[in-house]
Structure 1
């Protein structure tokens, strides 16, 4: 890339980061909504010929299918983002996931069309996965490339707010429809949150369309001849160590979160026999706290560095893993809400730093692809942890210690990825117009 300085301003960075957040919030709303529905709806309405545990396993397997598609989406949208532009890729991702999620709201269940129902559900989940594969990496890349270097932590953390806001919106929507009589909920009530994806898509699309292209990409595009034809292949060939560090550093933010939400909802309702409303409301409480935790940790990332924050987050999560599940096993609502809040807050230490760490691991011509591949390969691994944990529960007699042990293992891998990732940092030639007196 050219050594010409790229000038950015805090005002522009803030506006772009907010627009990136709006689209990310929709993406995670759609994605998390499927996870919650898999635990309390799809297992009963789309896999009705199976016993309860097998149906839950099948629903989680469908949930995990989306994670398999995410690396493919990272390759596809990474190529668009690194060769055509960050903005076109981000517009395509938000449209794809919004349409796929809305169509789930129209999907007939097993009683209506038989085996075609779970097949169609899996196909729509694949489309969701493709879109998310290109969404997060593009959003944080766009936010980082518009931000002054010394303020990247705070602006890279803003798209991360899409996770708790998406959780709040999806869990809140499910909580509302769960107030309906069970017959109405099963018949049509659960569909309403999915259909809400259509109006939310219009809002996100409007905000995304108003974003300017990344100044780093515009500078890169001046050297079009040097841009790789297949950026993902370049990442694998030239930056395998960086990719491994990125995958490790991303693992806890994805896998840990789904253990604390999707798995816990399924475990609480199926194994502990707790009311569905308790688990959903507990995730709502945790999501509110998560917003503040991400903002604080984003600022701390600027002070201590993204790599060091990833190490700290991994250690903290490993320490609290077993106590968190002991609290869940009490069956007391307040203790369950406290446990999920503590678990997700510890993971947020890592998640807040992930955007900065991954964006600075890869050079601009590989960045969209490298960031997306790192995060989504980690997602493909982590997305199946609810399924793995549920299967191991049955094999070990139902003790939650197995889920806690998985969380400790993932936390250790992330601490290791953060350690090496912090030592492979690449600095763009970016100048802050605010500091230059502009």
Structure 2
């Protein structure tokens, strides 16, 4: 297990170039251990997060909002689901500060513990019938803590990975933490598919709790892996420089003061990978079971197949990004997702199991193209002295909007009389945002990374 001394504050922006020019980790075994830790920890985070989304679609409306009309109960469940996304910018601010001042590794250890514990406790919650209004209140509280954790997780895992590895391979290496998303989906959907085979009485009584309690086991594995990794060489250089330059302004304030335009670009670029995914998993499960009458096992299995497809797309998309450039892959992926939106829902509307599975897999596969290199796109726009804060805020502001996507989709579905064209149009809007945001990220990446890193000196001003 690696150890490190308590770091000093990072340097001011005047010395940022020297830290950014630090050579990446060269030892293959160190890189392998780092990538494994980033992947496993992120898989736990997304297992826990997606688990809640699946339960919100299938269970929570019945157990925590039993007195409401089924449709209203589903919307209430999705509101608690959205609470986690509202908490994400708070987590981004907290862990962005920790990551920029005290280390990427320190922040990641805290986030994984917070997520594992809060998810496991959901599995111990009594229902509305036992403690009344306290049940949904406690559920929302634990969901809020999940959101705080995720607010710092993705950005930290991505930065620790990219700051250890050479820039010419950032496309493929940035896809490694992203693998936590489909693997987390496989684990959460697979766990619910297994307990979903129980009789309804057993499933709603205790079966749904098992996947949440399993988070305690995954936490031990992820924590062990995270404790064995070294701090980012870029952050180590920042610690050394801080002895000469003193502490900079607060990272989050500096990020918004100097690069608020780039933060908005990052929000748009990241939107499809988060909002589109929840539209094609959380919402589509509810749509298929509640609106179309498709058995929940079919919808869960469809998301499993979609997750397998996503794994393959992430590998391919990351490799292509090494050659073509991450932002170009994100633009093309957004356009492909626009084209796939209506066919995805047309296939699900057939209610034929093979076509339902194909539709979900098509949609998830399309939105996974820009998801592969998005970490390289967003992180590449910011200097390292406030990079954690800026990346976390970009990604999690997109997450706030995305948290309401299932709720908005369900509401639009009601207004359209249950017609899926409303959800397809919503997916098109989300995909277009990512294509446009990624296009505008291109000049920022060329400006920061298109010349010798050793000569970089961050003097960029905010984009109006």
Q: Please name the residue that 1:149 is paired with.
A: 167
Aligned to 1:174: 192
- Distance in 2, matches of 1:72 and 1:33, equals 22
Residues 92 and 151 of structure 2 are in contact (CA less than 8 Å); yes or no, is this contact kept in structure 1? yes
The match for 2:88 is 70
Match among 23, 26, 33 for residue 7 of structure 1:
23
Q: Which stretch shifts more, 319-328 or 224-233?
A: 224-233
Tell me: CA distance 1:350–1:283, structure 2 relative to 1, closer, same or farther (3 Å): same
Query: 1:392: how far off?
Result: 1.3
Counterpart Cα distance in 2 of 1:251 and 1:92:
26
Aligned equivalents of 2:69, 2:401: Cα separation in 1? 26
Q: Any conservation in 1 of the 2:63–2:127 contact (CA below 8 Å)?
A: yes
Residue 415 of structure 2 corresponds to residue 395 of structure 1: yes
Does 2:394 correspond to 1:374?
A: yes
Task: Output one character per residue of 1:347-374: Cα deviation in whole Å (capped at 9) or x when no partner.
Answer: 1111001111011011001111111111
- Which structure 2 segments of 5+ residues have no match? 1-15, 456-464
Distance 1:15 1:252 in 2: 30
- Which residue of structure 2 aligns with residue 277 of structure 1? 297
Taking the aligned partners of 1:70 and 1:3, their CA distance within structure 2 comes to 31
TM-score (norm 1): 0.96
Match of 1:80 among 98, 110, 132: 98
After superposition, the C-alpha distances for 1:277-308 in whole angstroms (9 at most, x for unaligned) are: 11001000111111111011011111111111
Counterpart Cα distance in 2 of 1:150 and 1:329: 43
1:44 aligns with 2:62: yes
| Equivalent position to 2:158, from 115, 140, 149 | 140
Q: Any conservation in 2 of the 1:83–1:229 contact (CA below 8 Å)? A: no
Give the conservation status (yes or no) of the 8 Å contact 1:39–1:59.
yes
CA distance in structure 1 between the partners assigned to 2:454 and 2:61 by the alignment: 50
> Contact (CA 8 Å) 1:14, 1:155: kept in 2 or not?
no
2:62–2:73 Cα contact (<8 Å) kept: yes
State the partner residue of 2:403.
383
Q: Distance in 2 between matches of 1:372 and 1:72?
A: 10
Match of 1:239 in 2: 259
Structure 1 counterpart SS, 2:59: helix
Instruction: Please state how far the C-alpha of 1:227 moved relative to its aligned partner.
Output: 4.5
Picking from 281, 285, 301, the partner of 2:321 is 301
Per the alignment, residue 258 of structure 1 pairs with 278
* Per-residue deviation, 1:154: 1.2
Retained in 2: the 8 A contact 1:227–1:365?
no
Matched, 1:216 2:234: yes
Q: CA RMSD in A?
A: 1.3
Confirm or deny: 8 A CA contact 2:17 2:454 kept in the other structure. no
Are the counterparts in 1 of residues 279 and 405 from structure 2 also a CA contact under 8 Å? Answer: yes
Secondary structure of 1:75 counterpart: helix
SS of aligned partner of 2:443: coil
| 1:249 counterpart (269, 292, 295) | 269
**Structure 2 match to 1:126:** 144
Kindly indicate whether the alpha-carbon contact (under 8 Å) linking 1:2 and 1:220 is maintained by their aligned counterparts in 2: no
Q: Which residue of structure 2 aligns with residue 25 of structure 1?
A: 43
Match of 1:329 in 2: 349
Q: CA separation in 2, counterparts of 1:228 and 1:395?
A: 51
Q: Which residue of 2 aligns with 1:434?
A: none
Q: 1:148, 1:430 within 8 Å by CA — same for their partners in 2?
A: no
Corresponding residue for 1:290? 310
- What is the rounded CA distance, in whole Å, between the counterparts of 1:180 and 1:294 in structure 2? 33
The aligned residue for residue 435 of structure 1 is: none
- CA distance in 2: counterparts of 1:46 and 1:147, whole angstroms: 46
Contact 2:119 2:215 in 1 (8 A): yes
Offset at residue 430 of structure 1 (A) = 7.4
Give the whole-Å Cα distance in 1 for the aligned partners of 2:246 and 2:358: 52
Q: Mapping of 1:223-234 within 5 angstroms?
A: 223-224=241-242, 225=245, 227-234=247-254
Q: Deviations over 1:166-185 (max 9, x none)?
A: 00000000001011111011
Aligned with 1:424: secondary structure?
Answer: helix
Task: Determine the C-alpha separation between the residues in 2 that align with 1:143 and 1:355.
Answer: 10
* Corresponding residue number in structure 2 for 1:60: 78
Q: Distance in 2 between matches of 1:403 and 1:232?
A: 35
Q: In the aligned structure 1, how far is the partner of 2:247 from the partner of 2:56?
A: 41
Rounded to whole Å, the distance in 2 between the matches of 1:364 and 1:226 is 16
Q: How many equivalent residue pairs?
A: 431
Deviation of the 1:82 alpha carbon: 0.4
Report how far residue 253 of structure 1 moved: 0.4
